[in-house]
Amino acid sequence: MKTDSLKSGILSLVLLGVLLGAWQFAVGGTGASADMDPEYAALMGMQAKGGSAMPTPVDIAVEMWRHISDPFYDKGPNDKGVGIQLAFSIGRVLLGFFIAAAVAIPLGFLIGMSPLAYRTLDPFIQIMKPISPLAWMPLALYTIKDSTVSAVFVIFVCSIWPMLLNTAFGVAGVRKDWLNVARTLEVGRLRTALRVILPAAAPTIMTGMRISIAIAWLVIVAAEMLVGGTGIGYFVWNEWNNLSITNVICAILFIGLIGMLLDQVLSRLSRFITYSE
């Protein structure tokens, strides 16, 4: 097992090196036009002569280090460190995510345990589920009149459905003989839900939570581009308006790393609560 992990790690590093080398080769030899406006060239993060319209991996590495070395500086509304921007985004995602979990998991239990509740709520779920979360943003801004709360509401909307459906599926799929044993022992419904159904459905619930956090992290970037102010989505849009392609790529890498970290946290938690029959 350790040998396979080592081999896969080495192959991943080799593949990364090949991709970076191809990137460096592809953009390193292309030069900017000699008569390009120097001011415009500076905005693009390159020199008027001998520069590259697309930043090289070395340029990205240098800029990434600059961001990492001072991530929390604050020089005004439009000039904040990437650490501050990520903190705002993560805070919104986690707030909307946990509110969605507080609603979706109990409701999923109700739907999974009650066929009547399932038949009653299923039409509403099927109508609401396919709606893009961003479609709610104009309505949220109009009614709530606060961009931060509106972004949290959009995260809530996009997070609730995977958790709700996975919870209902996991609860409904609990083995009947376990429930029959609980009835034989005259265990109450609440205790049955907490001591029998919840542990059995927990892996499925965690799968829904992993899906939800991934979708929430995707949506928050687009939402912050719309509402502006703070957040990594706003940072990407602001850097694009400044024609800083290097910073846009750095932000994309930070978004990917944080998304991977959030997924890994829930993955470790999922393995912790998963049991073998």
Q: What is the mean pLDDT of residues 131-151?
A: 89
Average pLDDT in the chain = 84
76-94 pLDDT, tens per residue? Answer: 777 888 999 999 999 999 9
Residue 221 sits in a domain of what CATH number? 1.10.3720.10
Q: Is the dihedral of CA 133, 136, 138, 143 positive or negative?
A: negative
**Whole-number Å distance between alpha carbons of 222 and 100:** 19
Q: Tell the burial category of 139 from Cβ atoms under 10 Å away from its Cβ (0-12, 13-18, 19+).
A: exposed
Instruction: Name the 3-class secondary structure at 68.
Output: helix
CB count in 10 Å sphere of residue 75: 8
30-39 pLDDT, tens per residue? Answer: 544 334 344 4
Domain membership of residue 193 as a residue range: 82-273
pLDDT at 108 over 60: yes
Q: What is the DSSP secondary structure assignment for residue 173, as one 8-state letter?
A: T
Asked if the structure places residue 76 within a domain, the reply is no
Contacts of 275 (CB under 8 A, 6+ apart): 199
What is the reported pTM? 0.82
163-212 pLDDT, tens per residue? Answer: 999 999 998 888 888 777 877 887 777 788 878 888 888 889 999 999 99
C-alpha closest to that of 208 among 161, 141, 158, 157: 161
Asked if the structure places residue 96 within a domain, the reply is yes
Asked if the structure places residue 111 within a domain, the reply is yes
Residue in the structure block whose two tokens are 């109990």: 106
Instruction: Give the pair of three-digit tokens for residue 26.
Output: 């592809």
Between 275 and 66, name the one with better pLDDT.
Answer: 66
5-48 pLDDT, tens per residue? Answer: 788 888 888 998 898 888 888 887 554 433 434 444 444 444 43
Asked if the structure places residue 249 within a domain, the reply is yes
Asked if the structure places residue 233 within a domain, the reply is yes
Asked if the structure places residue 74 within a domain, the reply is no
Please count the structural domains in the chain: 1
Q: Tell the burial category of 58 from Cβ atoms under 10 Å away from its Cβ (0-12, 13-18, 19+).
A: exposed
Residue 6 backbone phi and psi in degrees, to 5: -65, -45
Asked if the structure places residue 92 within a domain, the reply is yes
Between 276 and 262, name the one with better pLDDT.
Answer: 262
Asked if the structure places residue 48 within a domain, the reply is no
**Whole-number Å distance between alpha carbons of 243 and 240:** 5
Contacts of 102 (CB under 8 A, 6+ apart): none
